Structure 1
């Protein structure tokens, strides 16, 4: 298969028309595969990985619209052109409303066909299982149809310039996807700046994002421009946006609306040109209902939503990822471990992976470190999986759990006396009450 050519799947039960269309498209530099039924086409999709499907409407068995509906379920961003000798305006309108790229009537005008093919292919960066070598997505290792469909959507989102919200469990690769979107965008030559909103104390996050002037607060011994200005012209990735405090959400919303940022301690606002990509493992709709996240900010950030599958949902990628990590860690350590045994691969493929790709990387790293032979055994993998926590918490979750346990311990010691507990924690009473409220702790229960 020539991955440098655009790949088209032609579907028609008329052999003569298939041959004629194939000659026209091949003559214009496309790589063409043929199917004589909708069922055959579905079987070919994961094999030939087309970037466009052109299908007749009327066929025996599965017709063109049936094929389109089946394609849409598995590969929602793969464009489909439907051809028919029985075309009508109502058919065309109904088809395009359902997502068909376009609807052409036979006999076909060659120029019109080629024009529509060119338009459709401009929207299909990778097709089903697209090229792994594309520069914008070179760090994302996959052969999963789920991931390929997501990457096609990500490429379209990158070109749009809209704000993107990336959803997914911890360890699924949200920052990697954000970087790929940046690389596929018109901002690729400008900075990509990432910040984990859950890893920075609330009191410092505002300064980190917006900057501060010298003397604006204790410890501000110099001017600091902030991450928004650092990302000017490029992309700012706000990881774990669901952990941002409400007070800062208001200020972030104002910055996004006004496209201006003002440092702490300054009266002067600076114009900024920054694209926002945010990510969270939380269900923000639930956070809104609980009063922890602003609905207006949610809609500002969630113009395009992309959800990363768990590692368990893309098991076909586990051998690829495991070998990637094997090469990485052997290169770093200088060890001569060359491969996994077939039994070790079976264990990797069948494991539950609650910590997703991050956990897989940890397991492979430990197996490489402890291996005494050229081949990693299943025993090493089993031991590494057992010794890896079943659920690896994010930094934000670990900090939240510590804070909650710490506050409960203080209130137990002081029998629910908030003033006394605040003094022990070296926090003022108002701030301490806010902490209790954030963790839904009622001090009177400890009296």
Structure 2
């Protein structure tokens, strides 16, 4: 169901506030009201509208002063100014300062509708349907990326999602699925770096009775389980050379043969893939097949690190808090402005995943309804080196393992490969992936 656009209406004329609020609700908007600039700022600490519609002349804090505060505390939130004292000077001052639009009272109904729709086209560029609502953003980079995703979603082509760990690649894959004609069929994600080669082959292509570790029942595999829908292969750069060949064959022939089966089965699935590795370098080193890369990478969407989209940090933090409040009982209702500024200034090496973890920790440790900067300072200090993901931990284990086995065999690659249970070609690819030279161990031995 499509979400209504949320508008915060600010005016110290209570009767006009009520009248305009009713008009906007009749137009299909979700409306909240504030009778002063100070009240509006208090409301904004708890909720996030898609647009602020404010009177210019108000006691205490006028519309431009309110806009200035909004720009500093809620980056990217569009503001439209209304005034009964319309003049060229007011309009020029408002628009030069960055106010989205300027309306003169009495408000013309068509001008109001047009200005609101134009503002929402910036604030919510895909408001006409709800396909992108799982990705919260006001970043121009992300908005452009979503627009690119919108254009390619209906096309039944392979898309590779790249970007640092925790940047939201899986979420973007879901967005592509739900914006496509396959939206009513399954969306299945499989992490290619989280299991052994034999188990991964079974998960990909399936097996028949007894064909996998004595299994007594058939297993369809994700290619068949996702039939009609979308399959996301996460960390596709971790596939072994053997599975790369089998995956390429499945994509080219559009059919799979489950382990132990005597015939192949037709598939009907759109394949998306993701990786945080540099697959171009992996191809140059012989660790990833060039033909498979171009089959998967028909279009590439590269997601930015969170540090490259700082305007999204307060928005994501508030959204994460809202989600936590829905799932669990908590007294926490919002963030102090200084706390949001601290979050926006942090480096976030773990990207969105790390931000969500910090918010969850803050909610668990908070002793007051509003999360303050002192609490966040301690949490951020403790999370400056985020806990490694499974793939990061696995890569570190591989590196240490290779160093150890080369020391044991004194740099003899044939012996090392035999001990590791890999052929020489695969073993050399592992060494290349981690930048390890077997010859250095031979030199050490001669010394």
TM-score for the superposition, normalised by structure 2: 0.67
Q: 1:327 aligns with which of 312, 317, 322?
A: 322
Q: Is the 8 A contact 2:168 2:352 kept in 1?
A: yes
SS of residue in 2 equivalent to 1:276 = strand
Residue 239 of structure 1 deviates from its aligned partner by 1.0
1:162 aligns with 157
Aligned mates of 1:194, 1:211 — CA distance in 2: 15
Alignment of 1:18-417 (within 5 A): 129-131=124-126, 134-390=129-385, 392-412=387-407
Greater displacement, 383-392 / 312-321:
383-392
Looking at structure 2, the residues matched to 317 and 370 of structure 1 have their Cα atoms a distance apart, in angstroms, of: 24
In structure 1, C-alpha distance between the alignment counterparts of 2:203 and 2:210, rounded to whole Å: 15
Q: Post-superposition shift, 1:130?
A: 0.7
1:438 equivalenced with 2:433 (yes/no):
no
Aligned counterparts of 1:273 and 1:404: Cα–Cα separation in 2: 38
State how far apart, in whole Å, the 2-side matches of 1:326 and 1:153 are: 29
In structure 2, the gaps of 5 or more residues are 6-75, 81-119
Structure 2: distance between partners of 1:192 and 1:154: 17
CA drift of 1:320 comes to 0.8
Does the 8 A contact of 1:199 with 1:395 survive in 2? yes
The structure whose RCO (Cα within 8 Å, separation 6+) is larger is: 2
What are the Cα deviations for residues 321-363 of structure 1, in whole angstroms up to 9, with x where unaligned?
0011112223334111111111111110111111110010111
Number of equivalent positions: 328
Alpha-carbon distance, 1:218 to partner: 2.8
Residues 265, 445 of structure 1: alpha-carbon distance in 2 compared, 3 angstrom cutoff? farther
Q: TM-score, normalised by structure 1?
A: 0.67
Task: After TM superposition, give the deviation of residue 225 of structure 1 in Å.
Answer: 1.0
Partner of 2:34: none
Q: Which runs of 5+ in 1 are unaligned?
A: 6-44, 50-124
Between 1:406-415 and 1:204-213, the stretch displaced more is: 406-415
Distance 1:335 1:47, change over 3 A: closer
For the residue of structure 1 that corresponds to 2:304, the secondary structure is coil
CA RMSD between the two structures: 3.0
CA drift of 1:433 comes to 8.4
Query: What is the Cα deviation at residue 295 of structure 1?
Result: 1.1
Distance 1:408 1:373, change over 3 A: same
Q: 1:194-232, CA deviations, whole angstroms, 9 ceiling, x for partnerless residues?
A: 011111222321111001122224343322110000011
Cα shift at 1:182: 0.4
